Amino acid sequence: MPIYEFNCSDCDAKFEEMRLSSGSFKGVECPKCGSKKVKKAFSTFAPSIAGSSSSSAKGGACNLESGGSPCSSGMCGFN
């Protein structure tokens, strides 16, 4: 089930929700203020690769925050 990102038009909160399909955005509410004035945010996807040892496949940000080197897979968007 895909995870979609949303922005609340009332309180400017950013949040994520799992939805069956892109056509099932009806009824999405902001978890912070309860508003139904939400818009789908533009986002990228992160594929999970079984058996891979690169930090991008593990959901990390290529260890850039901790002073590490960027990944060489080219999948994380930091290259």
Tokens at 39, concatenated: 């818009």
Is 66 inside any structural domain?
A: no
Is 77 inside any structural domain?
A: no
Is 59 inside any structural domain?
A: no
Number of domains in the chain: 1
Is 29 inside any structural domain?
A: yes
Is 65 inside any structural domain?
A: no
Closest by CA to 57, choosing from 45, 65, 66, 68, is 45
pLDDT of residue 57: 42
What residues form DSSP beta bridges with 14?
7
Is 70 inside any structural domain?
A: no
Is 73 inside any structural domain?
A: no
Task: Mark the ranges of the chain whose per-residue pLDDT is less than 70.
Answer: 22, 46, 51-79
User: Which pTM value belongs to this model?
Assistant: 0.53
Is 18 inside any structural domain?
A: yes
Of the CA atoms within 13 Å of residue 1, those in its CB half-sphere come to: 7
pLDDT of residue 58: 44
Please, are residues 29 and 35 in contact by the beta-carbon 8 Å criterion? Answer: yes
**Domain span at 30:** 3-40
